[in-house]
Structure 1
């Protein structure tokens, strides 16, 4: 992302990148976990289902802390993913809202663009996110 891109354009790029894989929800959650943990490892936590006899360990939850909010997506087997936004103040969750996935994608994209505008290190990490 170059400096000549406006913030609205950055938001649209992030949102488009997120939506690109959201058609297949299982692939979407797996790709999102890989992109976020690869780009923002200190702000992302990925929890996987584990089974002693299974080779696969699909994503169960993704937590991403950006600014005053934490974005969470959960996936239980045989159920569609659920998306949440939590307001955090001094490390304490004050309020958690279940929000529609489209709204969650938009808000996450907006927060990612804001973080990219604030920090050149975050901007570089998020450039990798778009690859």
Structure 2
């Protein structure tokens, strides 16, 4: 079962509780990709000490993935930016957004493994 399949199964299992899903996804991304992930949280009420995730943004080069939770629904989008200029932005269904994000994270992982191997080879010469 792929990571995407697990995420989608988790959404179904959570019974459509988008707040729980969004909070869990934000925590996972902040832990796994701390330098690439920005999470905006809001208080649950005026005097509440607890918060919920309002939006998640993951910045890879050249993609920016944005997920926004408005209290009743999730809005997912992906933008392509080059040198700080956004070339295109598009809304995506959540499952497609997750699939593109997973592909991009896999690409980054492969690049990092390649860089790690190159450094390893260099140091052992």
Shared fold by TM > 0.5?
A: yes
Name the TM-score, length of structure 2 as normaliser: 0.78
Q: CA RMSD in A?
A: 2.0
Which residue of 63, 67, 77 maps to 1:84?
A: 77
Q: How many residues get paired?
A: 110
Aligned with 1:58: secondary structure? strand
Consecutive unaligned residues of structure 1, counting only runs of 5 or more, are 1-11, 124-131
Which residue of 108, 112, 115 maps to 2:108?
A: 115
Question: Is the 1:21–1:31 contact (alpha carbons within 8 Å) kept by the matching residues of 2?
Answer: no
Asked which structure has the greater RCO (Cα within 8 Å, sep 6+), the reply is: 1
Which residue of 89, 97, 100 maps to 1:96?
A: 89
Consecutive unaligned residues of structure 2, counting only runs of 5 or more, are 117-125
Report the structure, 1 or 2, having the larger strand content: 2
Aligned with 2:2: secondary structure? helix
- Which structure has the bigger radius of gyration? 2
